[in-house]
Each structure stands twice: as C-alpha cells, then as structure tokens.
Structure 1
C-alpha cells in the first residue's frame, strides 16, 4: 500500500486523461459542424443553380420548348447550358433528385400578362459522414429550392 501512496499526489498526466475523455465529444462536435457547413454550401449551390435556370427560362421564348426546358435543367445541374460540366452538387447524381421547369401563372404589367416560370429542384443531401446523424433520426435530408421569375423575353 505504501508503494501506491506516492502516486496519489502526483498529477502528471492528468491533462492527457482529461483530453482522452473529451476527445470523442470534440470529434463529434467538429464532425457535426462540418456536416452543417457542407449542407449549407450544397443548399446555396442548388439555390444559385435554380436561380440561373429560372433566369434562363425567363429569357427563352414562351411557351417553353422542350429544348429550352432541357437547357434550363442542364444549367441547374451543371452550370452549363449543354450539360457538359460537372454536377454543381453531388446530390444531383443520386436517386431522388429532380428538377421541374414549369409555367405557373401570369404577372400583369400594365395591360400585358407575362407568364411566370417556376424552377424547383429537390436534391438529396450528400454528407461527408453518411452514418453520423442516423442515430439521432436525421438520416437523410432533401434540399428543396424553388425560384419564380416573370418572363422578360429577349
């Protein structure tokens, strides 16, 4: 018993033990903040793409042709009209991703009725750590963004 007693007053290494206890919580906190930041970044990228697609469709001839609708969809997905670029958000490559381009009503300016074009995108969130939040019930998220733009013509 007397051999253990000198170690009772020795506090060397206590900080290492405290750090080892806190490390899992710190890793979870940093991982969670990373995922929230990634979700925010993906939502902003989808929003910018949807806005660009709606502005493109608002400049095309009405009613929208199938070709112009596909160009708007390509613009939302890849940032290019021909669809040759990389996906703006990796969630566009997952099942469940959808983009809808439609005319939803009219906007009256003076005596002229202008069509309103709505572009809606639903994109699954693509996390860095896919299983991180499943134990809390936040397993899968869908980013839904919509933008309406009145027809502006050429």
Structure 2
C-alpha cells in the first residue's frame, strides 16, 4: 500500500471532525438567514411608523380649526414626525418634516362612472393628501447584497371636515 493510501484509510473511519464540518457549513447560512429576517422586519417597522405618521397628520389637518393653512401644515408635519403637535420624540430616526409633502385639492364627490366617492350635499369635497418618502440605507445585510438605498414611501388622504 502506498503512503497516500494509508493516510486516506486512516481518515475513512474517523468521525471526530464530522460535527465541525457540519457546523462550518450551516452556521454561515443560519447567520445570513437571521440577518435577512432582522433587516426585513426593520424595513417593515419603519414603513408602519411612516404610515401611522402620515395618517395622523392627514386626520389632524382635515379637522384643523386654525385660521391659517400654513400653521395647520406645520403642526401636522410635526405630528407626523414626532407624534405630537408640538414637541414629542422622533418616530423614525432621520425622518424630518422636510420629507413630508402636503396637498389640498377639491375632488368630485362622484367620479365619472357614477361611483359615490364621498357622501356630500355638494358636488365637490376638499381632500388633504399627506405623503412622504424616506431613504432607507439599511443595516449591513442590505448593503452586503448590493441593493443600496431604497425609498420607503407612505401616503394618506383624508376628507376635510373642519374648515
């Protein structure tokens, strides 16, 4: 028997390193899967916080009794970002009032096909639309896969009832 044959024969019945090889193969895959779950849940949580913020702002501005629209917009944006009309603490790190877009339009109560959009005694209703887009740079996993920055968007519209 050759020298190489004796070395191979010696390792054929040895089970000592099998567990180490299995761990070396599975641990990177489990860590990669765990990082993906954490990253996705962070993106989803951020999206839910943005959505809650723009919904709160739209509801506030739709019922704002302030005499100036600009003041209502400023207070509504602060409500969206900080969870309070004045003061508060940030819902999402890095989200500012500059990233929020507010629009006010008059919309037909009934669309062209006859579908009732809003209950109204008039032909048009005022609607407030609040939207935002936040660049999400992510944690290491998202960048590791080469996706770079994504924009998480949220928007909400509310019929005006308080002006």
Identify whether the pair has TM-score above 0.5, normalized to the shorter chain.
yes
Specify the structure having the higher radius of gyration (Cα).
Answer: 2
Residues 59-114 of structure 1, C-alpha deviations (whole Å, 9 max, x = no match): 014885211101110011010101x2221011415xxx610111033353122633
- Native 8 Å contact 1:91 1:125 kept in 2: no
- Native 8 Å contact 2:103 2:128 kept in 1: yes
> Could you tell me which residue of structure 2 aligns to residue 111 of structure 1?
122
Asked if 1:143 is matched to 2:152, the reply is: yes
Cα 1:59–1:13 change in 2 (3 A) is same
RMSD of aligned residue pairs (Cα, Å): 2.3
Cα 1:64–1:150 change in 2 (3 A) is farther
> Could you tell me which residue of structure 2 aligns to residue 68 of structure 1?
72
Cα 1:62–1:115 change in 2 (3 A) is farther
Q: Distance in 2 between matches of 1:123 and 1:49?
A: 12
Cα 1:76–1:56 change in 2 (3 A) is same
- Native 8 Å contact 1:56 1:72 kept in 2: yes
| Structure 2 counterparts to residues 1-154 of structure 1, below 5 A | 1=3, 2=6, 5-61=9-65, 65-82=69-86, 84-92=87-95, 98-108=99-109, 109-111=120-122, 113-129=124-140, 132-153=141-162
- Native 8 Å contact 1:60 1:68 kept in 2: yes
> Gaps spanning 5+ residues in structure 2: where?
110-119
Q: Which runs of 4+ in 1 moved over 6 A?
A: none
- Native 8 Å contact 2:138 2:149 kept in 1: no
TM-score (norm 1): 0.83
> Gaps spanning 5+ residues in structure 1: where?
none
Q: What is the aligned length?
A: 148
TM-score (norm 2): 0.79
